[in-house]
Amino acid sequence: MFIDELIIHIKAGKGGDGVVRWLHEKDKEFGGPSGGDGGRGGDVFAVSARNLNLLARYRNKKEFCAENAENGKNNNLHGASGRNLEILLPIGSIITNKQTGEKIYLNKEGEKILLLKGGNGGYGNEHFKSSINQRPKEFTKGKLGEEADFYIEVELIADVGLIGLPNSGKTSILNELANTRGKVGDYPFTTLEPNLGEYFGHIISDIPGLIKGAAEGKGLGHKFLRHIRRVKILAHLISLENEDLDEAYKIIRKELGRFDKELLDKKEIIVLTKTDLIKDEKTIEKIIKKMQKINPNIIALTIYDDNSVKKFKDFLHKFLVLCANTSITA
């Protein structure tokens, strides 16, 4: 199951207490102080990884703790520090500390960001020794580690987002581009989770479940719409099976706009799919001409013809390069 939001409680480790100990020396009735300091409690870090299924791992575990430190020891030995805790989270995670409101974005692979600090260790009685106090009995306790609830949500970060009505061929194209193994089916909602693939260094994301009413929560669309926010360009797929292509296009655009107007400003290409279903080339050309009025960046393909898939790949690659060179960030 794909999980893209979660609340967890995290605690950094407690510092160890300082202790009161005395040296035991031969021939001396009273040895000096020798209580060591407590160790430092473990810190907690978020570490980003390229694995979308990470949140699902934490579904049944809502408490996370770094290790507590050890108390001080005799002979002035410090207690061992607690081990740090690293929580692996997917790239694209937005982590909100619910106590402070602070937000952290994990945008790149391998980022490591401090979430909570472990508590400092307390002082042992050796620390309090001075010329006027040879036998201090003071010590301090270790401090508690920081702790907080965190809301974690994931927004996919991708170069290309494949959108379109169910059955438009999104998963099939992702499979062609990236050799992924998404489920392909001729009934709606085969893809219940977004699939990601890589094509020559570009991350391609298959965004399923967009239907009429998705922005209001119909189907599963609302769950996936937010993943479009951080996609650089949209590849809008329209199957030639649709009797009214214009209408099919508009349904999706309307949902995008309803969810977030800014999604409509993203660079978009139109991909007419399943050209094999129309035998007459001229009809396809006519359709392309007509749809070009909506968006001149248009291409038609069938996954059953390698040549047309290759043309699409080149087209997509060129478009991505063009967007990068004109520094389009939307």
Ligand X SMILES: Nc1nc2c(ncn2[C@@H]2O[C@H](COP(=O)(O)OP(=O)(O)O)[C@@H](O)[C@H]2O)c(=O)[nH]1
Q: Summarize the annotated binding site as residue ranges.
A: 171, 189-193, 206-209, 273-276, 302-304
The option from ligand X, Mg ion, none interacting with 276 (CB < 5 to 8 A, set by class) reads: ligand X
Q: Minimal distance in Å, beta carbon 183 to Mg ion?
A: 7
The option from ligand X, Mg ion, none interacting with 192 (CB < 5 to 8 A, set by class) reads: none
Annotated binding site for Mg(2+): 171, 191
The option from Mg ion, ligand X, none interacting with 169 (CB < 5 to 8 A, set by class) reads: ligand X
Q: Which is nearer to Mg ion, 39 or 166 (CB)?
A: 166
189 to 208: interface string for Mg ion, x by CB under 5 A:
-xx----------------x
Q: Minimal distance in Å, beta carbon 83 to ligand X?
A: 44
The verdict on 242 binding Mg ion (CB under 5 A) reads no
Which residues here bind ligand X, judged by CB under 6 A? 164, 166-172, 184-186, 190-191, 273-274, 276-277, 302-304
The option from ligand X, Mg ion, none interacting with 172 (CB < 5 to 8 A, set by class) reads: ligand X
SS (H, E, C) the chain: CCCCEEEEEEECCCCCCCCCCECCCCCCCCCCECCCCCCCCCCEEEEEECCCCHHHHCCCCCEEECCCCCCCCCCCCCCCCCCCEEEEEECCEEEEECCCCCEEECCCCCCEEEEECCCCCCCCHHHHCCCCCCCCCCCCCCCCCCEEEEEEEECCCEEEEEEECCCCCHHHHHHHHHCCCCCCCCCCCCCCCCEEEEECCEEEEECCCCCCCHHHCCCCHHHHHHHHCCEEEEEEEEECCCCCHHHHHHHHHHHHHHHCHHHHHCEEEEEEECHHHCCCHHHHHHHHHHHHCCCCCEEECCCCCHHHHHHHHHHHHHHHHHHHHCCCCC
Q: Which is nearer to ligand X, 152 or 220 (CB)?
A: 220
Q: Minimal distance in Å, beta carbon 178 to ligand X?
A: 13
The verdict on 84 binding Mg ion (CB under 5 A) reads no
Q: Minimal distance in Å, beta carbon 79 to ligand X?
A: 56
The verdict on 171 binding Mg ion (CB under 5 A) reads yes
The option from ligand X, Mg ion, none interacting with 302 (CB < 5 to 8 A, set by class) reads: ligand X
Interface residues toward Mg ion, by CB under 5 A: 170-171, 190-191, 208
